Structures are given as C-alpha cells and as structure tokens.
Structure 1
C-alpha cells in the first residue's frame, strides 16, 4: 500500500495490497536494448530529490505484450548513480508501493534517510514511475474532491443496507473509469506487465541481472519479477508484504487483521499519556473511546468527517508512531461538545483530486490482476463476519469495491509464485503492520519455500528497511545487499528507544 493524508473532506487515505503459467515476455536480447539518454529530471523530481542529484531517462515498452510491435508507451526512470564506481555491483530497482506510487524520488528519499553508504556504493539506484503512474503514460478516472470516491478502501458498512448502498457507488465508479479510459490503457495495467516492464528496464540499462527492493505492493511486484524472471533476478528484498503477487479480496480483508494487531500499540501509547490527551487510563479504555467517537460520528458527522472517514484516518495514522500524537489530538477535538478545528472542514469546491492518478492505478492493477467476486451477497457475508471478527475496521476492509463491476476480465491468471530458482529472496516484516500484517510475510515465505528467508521484526509500523529504524533488520538487509549473504530465518528484537 502506499498512502497519502489529505485535509478537509479530507482525512482521506488513498490506499494503500494459480498454477497456470502467465504469458511469457517476448525474448529480447540485451544487445538490442534501448540506448538510454540520461538527462536532467523534471523540476518537481529535482525538488523532491534535493539535495541528491538524479538523472532521468525514458524507456519505451509495449502497451500490450501480446502485440510487442504495436502501440508503445514511455516509462520514466531515474538514477542515483553509485557513489563509488569501483565498488559498483549493478542496479537496484526500487518500488514504493501502491500500486500507483511514484518511485522517481525514492532513491533520494532512502539516501536522505540514511541508506548505508555501502549500498549507495554498490548500486545505481533506479526509480520508476510504473505504467500509468505520474510521468509514465498516466491514466485518470477523473475522481473529484466532491465525488463519492475518495479512497480505495471502501467505507465502513454499519449495516447490511450500507453494503448495498456502496455497491451502487462502486458500479458508478467502474463506469466512470471506463468512460475516461479514452486511450484504452487501463486494461493493460497489471502486475505481470509491470514485471515485464522491469525486465525491459533491466535490458535498457545494459544489465544481465537486476536487484530489487520493494515496499508494500512493491513486495508483490518483486515477487512477480523473481517468479517470471528467476535467472535475471539478483538480490531481491521484499519489505512489508502483501502475501502474494497480487492483492485480492482476502488480502484486502487482512487490512482489518493488521489494524487489530497494531491498534494496541497506539492504545498503550495513548494510555501512558492520559494526563495530556484524556483518552483513557488503560488500553482497554482507549479502545472504548475509539468506538465512542466512531459511533457518534456515524450519527452526526463533524465538518465532513463521518465515522467511516474517522476509522480510515486511524488506519492511516497507525502506519507510523510519529503520527500518534496527531491522532490523539484529533480524538481530543472530536470528544468536545462542539468540535471544530482547522483541517476538518469539508471541501465544497469541485476539482480533480490530487490523488486521482494514484486511485486510478490502484484500481486498475488490483481489478485486472485477479477475478473479484461479483455477487453482492459475497460482500454482505464478508462484512457481517468481519464486523464481528475485527470490529475496529472489518466492515470497511471487507466491503465491496469497483472491482466487482470492473469492465475487463483478467487477461491472464495471476503470476504464480515460483519456488524454483536461485535462493535470493529476503522477506522483511514487522510484527505489527496495518495494511500488510505479519501473515503476509509468512504466506510469501511459505510460497517461495527454499528460495527465501524471512526476518521478522518485533516492531510496529509499515516499512522495515531504513524507514523502520530497527538495527538488526538494517544490518541483516545491508549485509545481504552488499555481500550477498542471505541470512537464516530470524526474529529481530525491538531496537531500544
């Protein structure tokens, strides 16, 4: 997953997760690789990467890999060149998640956050706007600030009627995306095609193999690449795992499991600060406060913030402990008799959502990758079950999405995880992670079998390597990327605060 926080109507999250062999990518000799012309990056990429200096280039790929000589689209990639060419091993392609997140400045973001110099020496870091994203033949469903579709996680269904109401919205959204798909690109946005694009990028870079680091949905993309092109994969690091090469209804339902497992960390934090925020002296009292506020907002929204968006806001703010204080402050405001504060006002002006491109790509890839249930009763049963099993968020994560009405059937089966190939897959997973709970890492470890090893971190949050701050995971992953030493399966204890 890859998420963005937006004020106004507005505590909005733009979410962020068979045995048949998928269509093989057409053979492409590296000698025929595109000659890249590295140039200065667009101004917004330069600004986002500062003070690091990136170069950018364009790689043409087929829109439809079953017609490789047909329509071509251009993918923009970026490069943070090795700081020590004498120690350079090759390229490390990066993906920040989504699907739909722009990866052009991820290399600079990781470097600025403290990516070890040994990794910066060993690789040219390659960022990518995957097909449909940002500067790579972008797509749009034309989602607006006043429209009914603000996030890819469905609204919380307080009852059975709410599922039926959301089904009507989901159907209109699928029709809206179809109406805005003027270049017929949406059907070609899939994880399998993203993996084929990665191999075209590898060839264009003149590399025999590529290493890969992917976060969240990036884990699914990396798993797909390592499965489709095992002998071209070098060192693969999958961080915060969806659990497969695609996100399906079961994977989205795991969001609720992740929230149940992660919420106690926030509840304990808030209980320790009861004197400041007054949300409860014990974690159990903080949990009751959550339900009190949510049910109050279900009946009477505040400045456009209803119970569903309140729950979605908490889902996003559990991604990182740095967001806990903002969360506690919001809860304080909402418990007042007449709550009102900057950032809670509804946006009544109709304009294109800043997250429109992200929302569109997420929908297209997720809906195209796998067959979704089309029967509303399936979602009704799932919502009723998960409302009881996961009361914090289950009736949201299990709710119906536009994938139930998507106009395109999958062009091929989901990429099956390939457990035959080099032992080169390192799986990183926090114990408590909202969109990608620990079970996702376990599932991928089971599927890759002896090709993989898993490092579990006694920590909370979304993202392990560099962004998570755990010393053990940092050391193990860096050693693997630099020296190629795939560790044993292990658990990293929480780093001291």
Structure 2
C-alpha cells in the first residue's frame, strides 16, 4: 500500500472513530485468559508463509510481494475461556530483518481503527524507520474479524455509524433509530461472535503470535486505537514487552464508544484555523477573504443542508452528514489536507447555489463510505470492538441532554462527537470488565498538542497510567499520527533512536512545528 493510500485509510478510520467518547468506571484487573498449558497446542502450530497477492486485482498483496514480504494465517481460539473449542484465523504479513547480524526481534504494528486492516502497514513503516527498520521483523496484523482475517460483516447500509445528531430533537430521534437498526443487524447476523470481538482478545492473539514466532518478547508500534491495544497488552502481559511506542494516544480510562466526547472544542478551533488558511487563498477557492467570512459560508452550508439535502453526485448530503465531512479533514494541518477540505467545502457550496455539484475523487470516496454498504465490514467490526470492550449508557435521553448542554460552546461538532452510538442498543454487555491500565512498563508516548482526535490531555493521561513512560510532545502542530506520517525530524529521530537502542530519554521531550531539527 502506498504512503498516500495508507494515510487516507488511517485518517478515514480515525474520522469514523471521532464520533466516540466515554467515561469509564474503574474496575480491577481480570485474568489474562487461558493458561499456557491450555494453549500449548495453539502455540505449537507451524506458520505456512506464502506470497501475499490474492488474484490479479489484489494491488495491496502485489505491493507486499514486490517489497519482499510474505504472508500467513494464524489460528487462534474464538473464546480463550475455551481454548480447545472453535477457532478463527488471523491474516498477517512479515518483512523480515535484513540486518540479521544486529536483529532486534519482532516489531508488531497497529495503525488504529479499531477495525483497520494492518497487513500493508509494514511498507510505509519500514521506510519511516530507516536503517533500524532492517533490524526488525516487521509484522502487520489484520486483527480478529478485520480485513483478511475471519470476517464479521453485519450488512450495514454504511461503512460507519458516525452521524451528527443534527439541529433538533427530530434529527436526534432519526439518529437514534439509525443506531438501533445497526445494532439489530449485528445481533441478527453475528450474535455468537460478538462477545469475542474485544481488545483483550486481540491482546491475547498478539501474545499467542509471539509464542508461535518463538519470541520471548514483542516490540510494538501503535497509533490511535492501537495505543490502547498496546497499553492493554502491557497490562495483561507485562513481562513479554520489549520496546513500545504509542503515537497519538487514547486515555485508557476514557476509551470506549465515546472516546472523543470532549473533542468538539479542539475541532472548533481547528475549523477556525482552517478558515484563516482558506481566507489567505481566497483567489484560489473563493470561500471568503477573511476567516469570519469562510466560517459564515460553512454555517450557511449547514443551514441549507438542514432545509433540504444537498445533491452531490449521486448522493443526498443532509445536515447530519456535513459535520462528518468537515471533521474528516481537520486532523491534519498540512497544506494538502487543508486544500482537500477547501475543495470539499467548495463542492458543497456549489450544491447549495446550483442545486447539485460533482464531488472530487476524495469526496466521492468518503461519500461512498458514508452512504453505501461497500465497506459495511469496517463499521461493523469497529462497533463490535468498542461495544464489546466497554459498556455505555443505554438511555437516549442521556445523550440528548449532553448535546443540548454543549450546543452553544460546540455549535458545529458537539452534536457529532457526543452522539449516541450502536453500543446503546448492543445485544450483549461486555463479558469482561474494562482493562485498568496502571503499570511501569517502559514506553515512548508521542502526542501533538493540536490533535483533534485524541486530544493532548489523552497523551498526558496515558503517560500517567504508564508510570515508566516518557512523553514526547510535538508542539504547534495539529496532527493525529505523528511518527513518520508527519515528517517532523525531531520526532522521527527520537522514535528511531529509542527503537534502536531500547533506552528511553532521561526526561520528557518537546519538539516544535512541522520539520524541526
């Protein structure tokens, strides 16, 4: 997968997650699962490494093969409480270390979601790691029920459950019915699988993979949701961890189906920043010559979509969808992404003025994700993981009150970040209590101060939960997914140095701006 395609996939998954947020009640630790003796048979399995491409249309597999990667399938228990019962398969890729004289072991990757496939992640990350990448066996994993692993697809009419609650009670009621229907579809299709679609089980899968690979310890690089998965692994298997990098971290005490409940203000600020950027380019985009004019035009689009859906290509874009389209591109302050948002807003404005408009290729891809079932599996698995991990309030009135209380301070995004989710109607409560992360496993946590997805205080909270960690802060930047992706030399050098020598910095570190030395 090319870098640009990897970034688009990761950011779309992050945007889908951005309708989330929760307050989790602390709970004590629970068992890591089956005993080693129970898993002995699974641990002795031999992996059949083969080429990755599956058919002539499989471009991602072809790129893996071209890069010298190999692929395989790992068999794991569906239910670790019954390790000898039903099994499922996990698909994974491997780029083996080429500097075998200085090999550092296995580096397992997870770029977020939840529900994002990971097999192609080895390609950009090998590039980002430079010479140290050649010293690791890089492993890209499609977690349980994701991508090429045993599938779970609820047959949704959308790729994401993310929608704004809209401007009034009627639109909130429409959203509530929409979320109930999504949950019901999963209950009808996969009731027997849903209890096992959890982060704790994915952490168990990771440790089984470690054993099958014959490694004493795993190193780990996780982004976004992947930081929560990594933290859960350190809590469940603290003695099996080597080097850990958690980029754009989730507060483990607030992870769940409303994890970005408090991200509305950060996105309001980001939209104002973008409006100033667009105003400086009024000659190109024609959206307004001041930030205030650009914001007023955006608000006009929202008002028009509330009166009547906007015709964009073959899609009707209503008031509950426009905030998603805006927020989808606010997680990155680089010119390419700012321009993409400007082009999106330009199309929406044209639809208001002319009655219809033709979407850009980028916008058409997002609209397909939002309004068709082509990627139903993506949203289905994401919801199943979140709903299977942490319980949420099931009373719609709770969400309606929350939205109303914050409408004035978060006028465009509070109704999106504080929305009700399918988890409010999920057929089963989680089988295990949420993992309380509190340990001294060494880790490097990377966080930008302007992150609009997992806001900066989430990284600080992860730092406090992992008492042996160091926090690397990127200041004066708005980006979710910093290392390698953003091109900040200061951050990239610090991460690579840590992965190379395994020594955390003596203190927390700061980097500044886009490409600081």
- Equivalent residue number for residue 161 of structure 1: 170
- Equivalent residue number for residue 107 of structure 1: 122
| Among 239, 262, 268, the residue aligned to 1:260 | 268
Does the CA contact (< 8 Å) of 1:63 and 1:73 recur in 2?
yes
Does the CA contact (< 8 Å) of 2:7 and 2:485 recur in 1?
no
- Equivalent residue number for residue 494 of structure 2: 476
- Equivalent residue number for residue 83 of structure 1: 98
Q: How does 1:338-487 map to 2 (within 5 A)?
A: 338=354, 339-342=356-359, 353-419=373-439, 421-422=440-441, 424-449=442-467, 451-458=468-475, 459-487=477-505
| Residue 319 (1) aligns with residue 346 (2) | no
Instruction: Please give the alpha-carbon distance, in whole angstroms, between the structure 2 residues aligned to 1:261 and 1:22.
Output: 40
**SS of equivalent residue, structure 1 residue 61:** strand
Instruction: Please give the alpha-carbon distance, in whole angstroms, between the structure 1 residues aligned to 2:257 and 2:15.
Output: 18
Instruction: Please give the alpha-carbon distance, in whole angstroms, between the structure 1 residues aligned to 2:240 and 2:180.
Output: 41
Does the CA contact (< 8 Å) of 1:223 and 1:245 recur in 2?
no
- Equivalent residue number for residue 179 of structure 2: 170
CA 1:386–1:53 in structure 2 vs 1: closer, same or farther (change >3 Å)?
farther
Uncovered stretches (5+) of structure 1, i.e. residues with no partner: none
Does the CA contact (< 8 Å) of 1:429 and 1:456 recur in 2?
yes
| Residue 68 (1) aligns with residue 86 (2) | no
Does the CA contact (< 8 Å) of 1:3 and 1:98 recur in 2?
no
The alpha-carbon deviation at position 150 of structure 1 amounts to 4.7
**SS of equivalent residue, structure 2 residue 119:** coil
Does the CA contact (< 8 Å) of 1:216 and 1:240 recur in 2?
yes
- Normalised to the residue count of structure 1, the TM-score between the two structures is 0.90
| Residue 36 (1) aligns with residue 69 (2) | no
**SS of equivalent residue, structure 2 residue 309:** coil
- Equivalent residue number for residue 334 of structure 1: 348
| Residue 489 (1) aligns with residue 489 (2) | no
| Among 100, 106, 126, the residue aligned to 2:139 | 126
Instruction: Please give the alpha-carbon distance, in whole angstroms, between the structure 1 residues aligned to 2:62 and 2:97.
Output: 20
CA RMSD after TM alignment: 2.7
Instruction: Please give the alpha-carbon distance, in whole angstroms, between the structure 2 residues aligned to 1:425 and 1:447.
Output: 11
Give CA-to-partner distance per residue, 1:141-170, whole Å, 9 cap, x none.
Answer: 1113xxxx4523232321123222221221
The alpha-carbon deviation at position 277 of structure 1 amounts to 1.5
**SS of equivalent residue, structure 2 residue 29:** coil
- How many residue pairs align between the two structures? 481
- Normalised to the residue count of structure 2, the TM-score between the two structures is 0.87
Does the CA contact (< 8 Å) of 1:386 and 1:398 recur in 2?
no
Instruction: Please give the alpha-carbon distance, in whole angstroms, between the structure 2 residues aligned to 1:491 and 1:462.
Output: 16
Does the CA contact (< 8 Å) of 2:51 and 2:65 recur in 1?
no
Does the CA contact (< 8 Å) of 1:40 and 1:56 recur in 2?
yes
| Residue 276 (1) aligns with residue 293 (2) | no
* 26-35 vs 300-309, greater mean Cα deviation: 26-35
CA 1:249–1:55 in structure 2 vs 1: closer, same or farther (change >3 Å)?
closer
* 96-105 vs 17-26, greater mean Cα deviation: 17-26
Give CA-to-partner distance per residue, 1:63-88, whole Å, 9 cap, x none.
Answer: 01111111111111110111211111
- Equivalent residue number for residue 238 of structure 1: 246
- Equivalent residue number for residue 61 of structure 2: 46
Instruction: Please give the alpha-carbon distance, in whole angstroms, between the structure 1 residues aligned to 2:170 and 2:342.
Output: 31
| Residue 22 (1) aligns with residue 30 (2) | yes
The alpha-carbon deviation at position 432 of structure 1 amounts to 1.4
CA 1:261–1:485 in structure 2 vs 1: closer, same or farther (change >3 Å)?
farther
The alpha-carbon deviation at position 386 of structure 1 amounts to 2.7
Instruction: Please give the alpha-carbon distance, in whole angstroms, between the structure 2 residues aligned to 1:198 and 1:265.
Output: 40
